[in-house]
Amino acid sequence: MGNYSHLFSTFQLGSLRLPNRSVLSPMTRTSAEPSGLANERMARYYARFAKGGFGLIITEGLYPDAISSQSYKNQPGLANEAQAESWIPVIRAVQGAGGKIVAQLMHAGALVQHDGFTPIAPSAVKPLGTMLEDHGGSGEFAVPRAMSIEEIRSVIESFAQAAFRAKKVGFDGVEVHAANGYLLDQFITDYTNLRTDEYGGSTERRVRIIVEVLRAIRAAVGPDFMVGVRISQGKVNDFHHKWAGGEMDARIIFEHLATAAPDYIHKAFAPAFAEGGPTLAKLAKQYSGLPVIANGKLGQPDKAESLLENDHADLVAIGTSALVNPDWVNKVRVGRALLPFDHHFLLPIATLKEEEVGV
């Protein structure tokens, strides 16, 4: 059994005292009710990770408004009081098992996989790639409609109101999803943001909406409720994308995010721009001065421990390895073998399986 002293050390993340450095990564499972309500299967699913030792659990992306933000069918939401209250049994199940749970707030932007509304985006640019079949999509994405300034302000307010609902029903915090090709990331990305106003052009202007979302949320929830933000270069429809400005873009983005004083940045652990160079997690720590959660192929505990030991991140997010090892933390603690993850686990569609929600 390895010596994982960093993995099993406590950490103060915002207002939360965490018992260890292992975080459940947010993973889209599209298993809510058609109305966006969380259900009893989801309560059992999330509770398994708390029972398995994860100190912090981040939900899959929850859409913040019923107008334009839902990406997938059967995606859960926080767009109204009924959706928010449906999370109370999930929250109680997780907290009752000793865990903390954070609601990830996600606006689809152009990446919409249903015909419920016309997608909106920074600019009328058709997304690359095709819809995700394992999340119920097929074919090409539609061309979105460019957002007006009024719509941008409305979206910012919808994030703030969703965060307020999350706090009201008992979540331990929220995470703003500004990664992986969804709306806020579409603003950061040069080829999807062709705007010439205050939200487009320079990197400083393209990151502006995320800063404004974070500030609006903080105003809505107060100083003591945890607020984080997830950032990435790669996208679900353009996995290998890199920021055009390289490390200078990283510096601008992370320094600007820090002005909104989030409690953490959630970032991919991979070479940022060249093999052997610093990771984006390391650059996030360097330029923001904030705690960093690293994610991406960290299911091997030796790798996760090394990352923490070398101060590349403060916490590690475990994703697919946790799906087949919901007790990942407890297994690593006592030296039990971890089951390998096979992508067929999520096929043909990534909804919850019976073995994941068994009593």
β-pair type (11-13, 16-18): antiparallel
| 182 is known as an active-site residue | yes
> Which residues, other chains included, contact 186 with Cβ-Cβ below 8 Å and sequence gap of 6+?
109, 110, 121, 122, 192, 193
Distance, in Å, from the CA atom of 284 to the CA atom of 289, rounded to the nearest integer, reads 8
β-pair type (292-295, 315-318): parallel
String of DSSP letters for 279-294: BHHHHHHHHH-S-EEE
How many H-runs (helices) and E-runs (strands) does the chain carry? 12, 12
Give me the sign of the Cα torsion angle 288, 293, 296, 302: positive
β-pair type (145-146, 56-62): unpaired
Residue 123, amino acid: S
> Can you name the residues that pair with 292 across neighbouring β-strands?
265
Q: Distances in Å between the alpha carbon of 109 and those of 76, 78, 120, 213, 355?
A: 16, 16, 5, 15, 33
Q: Which of 46, 72, 182, 264 is catalytic?
A: 182
For 224-350, where are the E strands, in sequence order? 226-235, 264-268, 292-295, 315-318
> Catalytic residue numbers?
182
